[in-house]
């Protein structure tokens, strides 16, 4: 088989609430994941062993893509391999899900490359063992998520445009989840009648206190023509403004260019990865 290149899309958390802490130390959350059409590219080449080429990772065995490939290999009891090239476009550590999305693309890409009879349910479970955000990318649809992020209900969201800004600061997911100031008892939301822009991100206030650039970007985005709302995604540090019109989003990108790395993307309901593989939703 010739080489295969597949997309690994970004995501946004349109809101993010923590509703409680579990006995295992993890947190229960509620969030809406919006899939974007802005992607990393993952290229697969048939090979005898598994190897990953990722310029952002020094030790291959630490790479989430490598761990995903090995986990699938073991689950399927196969000795097949592949060389996996990761072409990064998504900012790292910004709350855009890039590493988790790359891992999900590896799971789905290798299932295709190796011709495995492995369901999306099985891939999602493998993904959950790698990280809480991996299953949403395996499922491949914008969704409401609960639990640690593994309880997923697909949503049909308006396909707005998003101006996404990532400042030059590092926001540690582990640090913010353990922060004593974090609100851990948000009331569960009622998704009936949900509108894009409803609710808030629990982490935004405490991240902004440590990194004022986050609140500055959010404030500037809100002043842009056509901006419906602005919010931090995940545990940061990326901030997005939501626009109904692509021209407004592009104009905003020009105006905030000095505040960080900027891109404009469209929110989509079906993942570009699923479209590339011809996966029909509601079927495994």
Coil, strand, or helix at residue 118?
Answer: coil
Q: Report how far residue 32's alpha carbon sits from residue 153's, in angstroms, rounded to the nearest whole number.
A: 9
| Catalytic site includes residue 58 | no
Annotate 216-234 with DSSP letters as a single string.
Answer: HHHHHHHTSTTEEEEEE-T
Catalytic residue among 11, 40, 63, 102: 11
11 is catalytic: yes
Runs of H (alpha helix) within the chain: 64-76, 98-114, 120-130, 134-139, 173-177, 204-210, 212-222, 246-255, 272-277
- Answer yes or no: are the C-beta atoms of 284 and 114 closer than 8 Å: no
Whether the CB-CB separation of 10 and 242 falls below 8 Å is answered with no
> What is the per-residue DSSP string for 201-220?
BTTHHHHHHH-HHHHHHHHH
Contact 243, 160 (CB under 8 A): yes
Residues 6+ apart with CB under 8 A from 255: 220, 224
In angstroms, the CA 31 to CA 14 distance is 7
Structure tokens at 27: 């947190």
Annotated catalytic residue: which of 40, 63, 102, 133?
133
Instruction: Return d(Cα 90, Cα 39) in angstroms, integer.
Output: 7
| Whether the bond into 108 is cis, omega within 30 of 0 | no
Catalytic (active-site) positions: 11, 133
């Amino acid at each position: 088989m010739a080489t295969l290149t597949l997309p690994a899309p970004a995501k946004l958390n349109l809101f993010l609430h923590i509703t409680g802490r579990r006995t295992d130390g993890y947190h229960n959350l509620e969030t809406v994941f919006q899939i974007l059409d802005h992607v990393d590219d993952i290229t697969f080449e048939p090979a005898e062993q598994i190897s990953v080429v990722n310029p952002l990772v020094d030790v291959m065995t630490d790479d989430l893509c490598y761990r995903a490939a090995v986990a699938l290999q073991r689950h399927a009891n196969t000795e097949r391999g592949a060389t996996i090239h990761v072409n990064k476009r998504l900012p790292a550590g910004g709350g855009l899900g890039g590493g988790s999305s790359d891992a999900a693309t590896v799971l789905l890409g290798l299932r295709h490359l190796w011709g495995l009879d492995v369901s999306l349910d099985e891939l999602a479970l493998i993904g959950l063992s790698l990280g809480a955000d991996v299953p949403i990318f395996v499922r491949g649809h914008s969704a409401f998520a609960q639990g640690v992020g593994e309880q997923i209900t697909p949503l049909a969201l308006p396909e707005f445009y998003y101006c996404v800004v990532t400042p030059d600061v590092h926001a540690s997911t582990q640090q913010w989840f353990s922060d004593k100031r974090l609100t851990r008892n948000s009331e569960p939301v009622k998704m009936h009648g949900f509108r894009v822009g409803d609710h808030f991100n629990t982490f935004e206030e405490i991240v902004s206190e440590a990194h004022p650039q986050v609140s500055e970007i959010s404030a500037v985005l809100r002043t842009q023509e056509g901006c419906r709302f602005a919010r931090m995604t995940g545990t940061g540090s990326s901030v997005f403004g939501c626009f109904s019109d692509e021209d407004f989003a592009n104009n905003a990108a020009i105006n905030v260019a000095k505040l960080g790395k900027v891109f404009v993307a469209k929110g989509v309901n079906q993942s570009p990865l699923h479209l590339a593989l011809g996966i029909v939703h509601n079927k495994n």
